[in-house]
Structure 1
Amino acid sequence: MTPGHVVALVFALVAALGYGASSIAQAEGARRATDTLRALRHPLYLAGLGGDALAWLASLVALRSLAVYQVQAILAGSLAVTVVGARVVLAARVRRRDVAAIAVTVLALTVVAAAAGPQEQVHPSTTLRYGLVVAAVVVAISGWFTVRATRGGGPAWLPAMAAALAGLAYGGTAVCARALPTPTGALPAVVGSLAADPLTWALAGFGVAGTLLYAHALQHGQVGPVTAVLWIAEVIAPSIVGVAVLSDTVRAGWTPYAGCAVLATTAAAVVLATAPATAAAVAESD
């Protein structure tokens, strides 16, 4: 591993720890407040929101040097942090299967970290840039129809659909961040370059759509299944796009191990998503 690779891995791990810890902070802040408005003003809840923002920025830094599949798999490990933190802070119950899933997560992420090959700077074509913009619009429109169909009831699978779309949207932000060229020059030139790049607008669109759709899915569905569907979509879809479109690489001979590790991380995330500890943290922080 190069020093830059190691630094990027550290940023990805910090992002995972940040997301997991922020969920606990928000849950504890919500638990200490008497209503939603007071919860939103509670110092712990605000600290959790700040932690989410910093974790997101750390993940963007990691995506400058690491493959999409690598960063997304590591971020899925944040559920292990949430489960452990909820056990300590919220006294939530941890099942034996949760302990096993945490162990699988640690082992699988070790393999993922070791399997990534050297990643080159992406040079996105005009087609890729506007293709991601179109994809963001399609996800947003699909989400709007899903939300509209949920009003007044609707089929039981609609919250899962909203969660899947949210996962695709969050995955889209990762793809955009990986593809976005690194701007250089003075600050005004950097800001102007980012504002003029369609990838920036696609990233923003994906981010807003994902946040709104995940909140909607949590409001109308069960926390465990909704979170599980979210992570399946958020890890698998962008990982495939990263390898197929962005030329994300795997170390020679490590492709089977990397694939199995990503699938194992996703499976562990599904198990941890249904854990009582996750439900306690996510439900109280929402």
Structure 2
Amino acid sequence: MELALAAAVLGALGYAAGSILQAVGVRGGSGAAALTRSPLYLTGLGVDGLAWLLSLVALRRLPTFAVQSLLAGSLALTVVLARVFLGSRLRRRDTAAVLALVAALGVVGGAGTEQPSPTVGPGGQVALCVAAGLLLLAVLVLRRSGSATFAVLAGLGYSVAALGARALTLPGAWSQAWRVAGEPLAWALAVAGVAGTLAYAAALEKGPVGPATALLWSVEVVVPAVAGFGLLGDVVRPGWWAPTAVALVVVVGCSVVLAGSPAVPEET
């Protein structure tokens, strides 16, 4: 459990660091072509990718609600790092939200016991595959929709990707890794991840980063938690149901507050 918990925490730190690096990288640049020549911006994208891989490691051993909540803590880290490295303004409610979020994540971390990846039946696999396909189709069809719609679609896409990663059966030996390509859940994970990435990019293009990020993380915390309990059999430590429910609400609320902070870097 210690390894999975460390991976989730490092993943949150990676997302926060990636946001700061990208924010610094876009300063003084103009247009996508300039960004492709910015070492800091490209490093930030690479750190984001590493953070995503760390989240997959965490999902192998921890319940979905715990991992997604810990990853949402990246917003608190982003705000703190932006204050230190970018000199961003920190509101009083931001400070309160950071402290409340840290406390809530402590509860979530304590409630999530180590749980091996579940075995999902054919019905569950079909449901995740269909959901991934429909989400990608929605992103491609709903081109004229607003930022909020795309932010929700992004949250749903990343949620399905997280559920697929949690339920994916991996071969016991590296020599058999090629077998993953034949797993339906691997394709669901990939398609849902693409849908989430495209949708979030569209959300940022059509509206401000704060509301889009708030919606994204709200969906990413709530949907995987509910689906994890119902579809994957995730469990909470005995006697921790009520504190966990309250903590999840606090995580979502603090994410909404922090997403609107002036310390959250604008993305391009």
Q: Give the TM-score taking structure 1 as reference length.
A: 0.91
Corresponding residue pairs, total: 268
The answer on 1:222 being equivalent to 2:208 is yes
Instruction: Name structure 2 gaps, 5 residues minimum.
Output: none
Identical-residue share of aligned pairs (%): 46
Deviation at 1:58, TM superposition (A): 0.4
Per the alignment, residue 25 of structure 2 pairs with 29
State the 1:114 CA deviation.
0.5
Contact map agreement 1:63 1:71 (CA 8 A) in 2: yes
**Cα distance per residue 1:52-87 (max 9 Å; x no partner):** 111000000000000000000000000011111111
Give the aligned residue type for 1:162: F
C-alpha RMSD over aligned residues: 1.2
1:104 maps to a residue whose letter is A
1:183 deviation in Å? 1.2
Aligned equivalents of 2:182, 2:80: Cα separation in 1: 43
1:35 Cα deviation from its structure 2 partner:
4.1
Correspondence for 2:83:
87
2:255 aligns with 269
What are structure 1's unaligned runs of at least 5 residues?
151-157
The answer as to whether partners of 2:210 and 2:260 remain within 8 angstroms in 1 is: yes
The alignment's TM-score, normalised by the length of structure 2, stands at 0.96
- Point out which structure has higher relative CO (alpha carbons under 8 A, 6+ apart): 1
Superimposed CA distance per residue, residues 137-191 of structure 1 (whole angstroms, 9 cap, x where no aligned partner): 11112222322x34xxxxxxx210110010010111110000001212342x221
Indicate conservation of the 8 Å contact 2:117/2:168, yes or no: no
Q: Distance in 2 between matches of 1:249 and 1:35?
A: 46
Check conservation: 2:60, 2:116, Cα contact below 8 A.
no
Query: Which region of structure 1 is more displaced relative to structure 2, 216-225 or 64-73?
Result: 216-225
Task: Answer yes or no: is the 8 Å Cα contact 2:215–2:256 preserved in 1.
Answer: yes
Classify the secondary structure of the residue corresponding to 2:151: helix
User: C-alpha distance in 2, partners of 1:41/1:64?
Assistant: 36
Deviation at 1:259, TM superposition (A): 1.1
1:190 and 2:186 aligned = no
Residues 35 and 222 (structure 1), Cα distance of their counterparts in 2 relative to 1, 3 Å cut: closer
Give me the whole-angstrom Cα distance separating, in 2, the residues matched to 1:57 and 1:143: 24
Structure 1 CA distance for aligned equivalents of residues 47 and 86 of structure 2: 18
Aligned-pair distance for 1:209? 0.6
What SS does the aligned partner of 2:263 have?
helix
Q: Does the 8 Å contact 1:70/1:112 carry over to 2?
A: yes
